[in-house]
Amino acid sequence: MEFGSTILDYFRDESAEATEFRRLHSKMLNLHGGQEFKNVLITSATISEGKSTAAALLACTVARYRDTKTIIVDCDLRRPRVHTLFGLPKDDGVADVLSGKRSLDACFKPSPIDNLQVLTSGGVIDNPTELFNSPRMKDLFSEIKFYFDAVIVDTPPIIPVTDSLILSTEMDGAIMVLKAGETKKQIVNRAVELMRNSGLNILGVIVNNMKGVLPYYYDHRYYGYDYTPGSTEEKFF
């Protein structure tokens, strides 16, 4: 994906990404007994594994194919990217609501996809951890869930900052993005351990085959999805 592209460049009906995410979405439903997940965190062990891209594509897919009120929320206050993917200004978002500068309903931004709204990260702040760990974060999500049927949350990676784990009680679970062939097994296992310890349900793992390192018998070009009730280890390494 080229720098500066927006998610719409990739979310066209005939695009490989849109097709993969449609497949991924139905696979998720099948693996979870047809049960639709409503509120999910997208995370990864480390940076640059493709979380924000996957979160945006998943949000577009859910909004389009479920035909339900959906929002993508950028909770990566350190390296926000959702606004860029949707070609929106970053300001008036999560940080502004948490710091009491804006009301939530004044911050929802429309996206080019029907049924999908965006809550960007908001203005620059110097205390993301403090904001994240304040009880207002949980309140914010209770309120978001009141307005939307499906909530997709882009978060910082687990290993450097465990901030996003505070949301575990507000979410149905997390989907972990894993950059195929690159993320070290010990790091992934540590991230999984941290998620489990905080009671965050791992709904599945998206294997992002950015550089085509997976062998051909993985019959997908970019993404794979799997449910990992046990260890991630036996499946991905």
Whole-number minimum distance, CB 76 to Mg ion, in Å? 5
* Cβ at position 213, least distance to ligand ADP in Å: 11
Contact set for ligand ADP, span 81-110 (CB under 6 A)? 81
Best CA proximity match to 15, nearest among 62, 63, 61, 66? 61
Q: How far apart are CA 154 and CA 213, in angstroms?
A: 25
User: Which two structure tokens, joined as six digits, stand for 115?
Assistant: 């049924």
Stretch that binds Mg ion, among 75-83, 104-112, 140-148, 211-219 (CB under 5 A): 75-83
Tell me the one-letter amino acid at 81: R
Does the protein bind Mg ion through residue 52 (CB under 5 A)? yes
Q: Which does 50 bind (CB under 5 to 8 A by kind): ligand ADP, Mg ion, none?
A: ligand ADP
Task: Tell me if 35 contacts ligand ADP by CB under 6 A.
Answer: no
Q: DSSP secondary structure string, 191-235? A: HHHHHHHTT--EEEEEEE-TT--S-TTS--SSEEEE--SS-SHHH
Closest-by-Cβ residue to Mg ion is 52
CB of 34 to ligand ADP, least distance (A): 27
Contact segment (CB under 6 A) with ligand ADP among 40-48, 100-108, 133-141, 193-201 equals 40-48
* C-alpha angle 148-126-188 in degrees, rounded to nearest 5: 65
Comparison of 7 and 137: residue with beta carbon closer to ligand ADP: 7
Binding mask 165-204 for ligand ADP (x = CB under 6 A): ----------------------------------------
Taken in order 54, 55, 57, 58, the sign of the CA dihedral is positive
Is 25 one of the binding residues for Mg ion (CB under 5 A)? no
SS (H, E, C) 151-171: EEEECCCCCCCCHHHHHHHCC
By CB under 6 A, residue 115 contacts ligand ADP: no
Min CB(194)–ligand ADP separation in Å? 17
Side chain identity at residue 226, one-letter code: D
CB 83 within 8 A of CB 90: yes
- Contact residues toward Mg ion (CB under 5 A) are 51-52, 76, 81
